[in-house]
Amino acid sequence: MLRFMPGLTLSRILFDEAVQPLMVEHVPNLSYAAGLFGHGSDVLGYDTARSMDHDWGPRLILMLNEGDWDAWSSRLDKLFRQSLPRSIAGFPTGMAEFETEPGIRHMIHADDGGPIDHLITITTVGRWLGAAEPEIGAGASISLPDAWLARVMASTGVEPELLNPATWITLPQQWLLETISGEVFRDDIGAITNVRAALTWY
């Protein structure tokens, strides 16, 4: 039986011992950010041994520059499927859906030699925030915090022109907490670090 460790700690081990060495070996000049943030009890530090039975395991968010997305997202996914260790810190890196609960995943020991259905999300900061990358960032028409706000409004159906102090306080604080919680392990790009810093004061 697996002994529980916090998911954020496990994510850091996945990055330090598996993902970062693969990136150094195969794409040493590729800029990226990596960490664990967003949804999940493990991000907030609320996970327990009971959390391990579904949608929990060695996982990571890896962010590329938008200009590298087309060239590298599929190639990195293939690299991880083929080259990740079968387990990390004793925890399987493979995942599978429950037959009776589609969309809900659990850890499995992947067959030797077969691809690993991993929990590494490969994205860009713009895609993760729900905004087009060329439209956000320094000197752009929409700031990173505004891109985050656009993501929240899209999820709740609030029209941008209706945003005012009254509607602002009705937006889910969970989205803000998810964005600034967890940890960034590496950030060559700077964007996700900047948006987390900009939103922390809220």
pLDDT tens for each residue of 79-103: 999 999 999 999 999 988 887 877 7
Nearest to 76 by CA among 20, 146, 135, 6: 20
Tell me if 184 is assigned to some domain.
yes
Looking at residue 162, what is its pLDDT?
53
Tell me if 2 is assigned to some domain.
no
Max avg pLDDT among 60-64, 111-115, 130-134:
60-64
Q: Is the pLDDT of residue 144 over 50?
A: yes
Average pLDDT over residues 61-78: 95
Residue 144 · residue 137 · CB < 8 Å? yes
Looking at residue 47, what is its pLDDT?
94
Tell me if 117 is assigned to some domain.
yes
Q: How far apart are CA 53 and CA 158, in angstroms?
A: 35
| Domains: count for the chain | 1
Looking at residue 137, what is its pLDDT?
39
Tokens of 40: 């999940």
Tell me if 1 is assigned to some domain.
no
Domain residue limits at 102: 7-200
